[in-house]
Amino acid sequence: MHTLELTVNGQTCRVEVGLKTTLLEVLRDKLYITSPKVGCNTGDCGTCSVLLDGVLVRSCITNALSVQGKSVTTLEGITEPGDIHPLQKAFHEHYGSQCGFCTPGMILASKALLDVNPSPTRDEVKQALSGNLCRCTGYVKIIDSVLAAADEMKS
């Protein structure tokens, strides 16, 4: 076992991990942060998406030991008591979430986009979310939600 130190949602943590352990396992099984989901464990679906030093990655195929000293943000980390991120508000109000299973990954992928591109085109939103699968919504409402959040954040 190896000791891994990382910061998760602003909190420094120390956990014991093996060579095969993934960041997703650290978050879900050791820290009980369950918004990143196990949709495939092969990098294909995007339900496990998190931000690593602000950059979107797949936690299911991120080796835990490779994130030593880094900072991880999950959906829990962008919510504050009584206060939600404009993206969360927009996904709620514009029906960007149905069953909710893809939603944490979708919102984080959207945040990664808006952090570097506050006024994306519809096509840029599609590109940014191209690795996140949703089986319920048909994507239109998700893209609407991201564009609505971008508008709100500008005003």
Partner 1 sequence: MSKVIGQRVTRYDGMSHVTGETKFVDDQVVPGTLTVKALRSPVSKGKIKNLDISAAAKMPGVAGIITAADVPCNAFGLVPDQPVLVSEDIRYRGEAIAAVAAVDEDAAMEALEKIGLDIQEQQAVLDPLESMKEGAPQVRPEGNLQMWDGHDYRQVNLGDVDQAFEQADEIVESTHLHPSVEHAPMEPICSLAVPHAGPKLTVYTVSQALYFHLGMLCGILQMEPGSVQCKQWKAKTGSAWRHNTGYADVNYIGGTVGGGFGGKNDIMADHVAALLALKTGRPCKWRWTRAEDLLYSTFRGAWHITIKDAVTKQGRIIGRQMTSIRDAGAYASLNPYVVEKHCYLGAGPYFIPNVRVRGYCVYTNKPPASSMRGFGITPAAFATEVQLDKIADRLGMDPWEVRLTNAFRKGEYTPTKRVLNSVAMIEVLQNLAAKAGVELPGHLKAMASTQERG
Partner 2 sequence: MAEGEFYRAASPREAAGLLAQHGGAARVLAGGTDLMVAVNKRKFKPQVLIYLGDAGMSGISQEGDALLIGAATPLNEILASPLVADKAPLLATAIKQMASPAIRNAGTIGGNLANASPAADTATPLLVLGASLKLVGAKGEREVPLAEFFTGPGQSVLAADEIIAQVKVPAQSAEAKWAYRKVGKRKAQSLSVVSVAVYCPLSGGKVSGVAIALGAVAPTPLLATEAAGLLNGKALDEATIAAAAKAAAEATSPIDDARGTAWYRKRASEAVVKQLLTELAG
Ligand X SMILES: Cc1cc2nc3c(=O)[nH]c(=O)nc-3n(C[C@H](O)[C@H](O)[C@H](O)COP(=O)(O)OP(=O)(O)OC[C@H]3O[C@@H](n4cnc5c(N)ncnc54)[C@H](O)[C@@H]3O)c2cc1C
Binding site for partner 2 (CB under 8 A): 1-2, 18-20, 22, 41-44, 46, 49, 52, 55-58, 60-63, 65-66, 68, 109, 112, 127-128, 130-132
Quote the tokens at residue 75: 């959906």
Q: Least distance in Å: CB of 123 to partner 2?
A: 12
How many other CB atoms sit within 10 Å of the CB of residue 133? Answer: 17
Kindly state the tokens that stand for 5: 């130190």
If one asks whether residue 139 binds ligand FES (CB under 6 A), the answer comes out as no
Contact between 74 and partner 1 (CB under 8 A)? yes
Give strand pairing partners of 2.
17
Phi, psi (deg, nearest 5) at residue 151? -60, -50
Q: Does 102 bind ligand FES (CB under 6 A)?
A: yes
Is 11 in a helix, a strand, or coil?
strand
Backbone angles phi, psi at 97, to 5 degrees: -135, 130
101 binds, among partner 1, partner 2, ligand X, none (CB under 5 to 8 A by kind): partner 1
Residue 23 Cβ vs ligand X, minimum distance, rounded to whole Å? 14
| 44 contacts ligand X (rule: CB under 6 A) | yes
Interaction between residue 57 and partner 1 (CB under 8 A): no
Pairing relationship of beta strands 55-58 and 11-17 according to DSSP bridges: unpaired
